[in-house]
Amino acid sequence: MKETLNLDEAAELMNIGTETARELADIGVLPGCKVGVAWVFLRDDVLGYLRDEVRRQTNQRIAKAEANKTLRGDSKPKRVETGVRKSGVRGNRYKEKPDLDALENAA
């Protein structure tokens, strides 16, 4: 596996356009250097940039979701407790089976 990548290879590795990769390199976000007129990137640096960007964006989404959750209040609707059954306690799902012997004797 190649340790160094040109601009096209770095863009392909990141699954982005060449111009986007060039812009990221030009502003210093994507680590690389120019040798003559060509950009050269280390594979580990490109993958490291991707890992850092994944973490950053994931943390932003989590923070946004938490903020929205706080603004809305509790994300789960609260159950109304009744005198019949406390929330979180499951009742018997099936009716009690009739006592057939008692029914026969009554008839």
- pLDDT tens figures, 27-45: 999 999 999 999 999 999 9
Q: pLDDT digits over 52-61, tens only?
A: 999 999 999 9
Asked whether the predicted pLDDT for residue 86 surpasses 60, the reply is no
What is the total count of domains within the chain?
Answer: 1
**Of the ranges 1-5, 62-66, 90-94, which is most confident?**
1-5
Within-domain flag for 90: no
What is the structure's pLDDT at 18?
Answer: 98
Query: Are 12 and 43 contacting, i.e. CB atoms less than 8 angstroms apart?
Result: no
Residue 69 has pLDDT above 60, yes or no: yes
Buried b vs exposed e over 64-101: b needs ≥16 C-beta within 10 Å? eeeeeeeeeeeeeeeeeeeeeeeeeeeeeeeeeeeeee
Q: Is residue 91 part of a domain?
A: no
Asked if the structure places residue 103 within a domain, the reply is: no
Supply the CATH number for residue 28's domain: 1.10.1660
Range of the domain at 12: 4-72
What are the E-state strand segments in 6-83? 33-35, 38-42
Q: What percent of the chain has pLDDT over 90?
A: 58
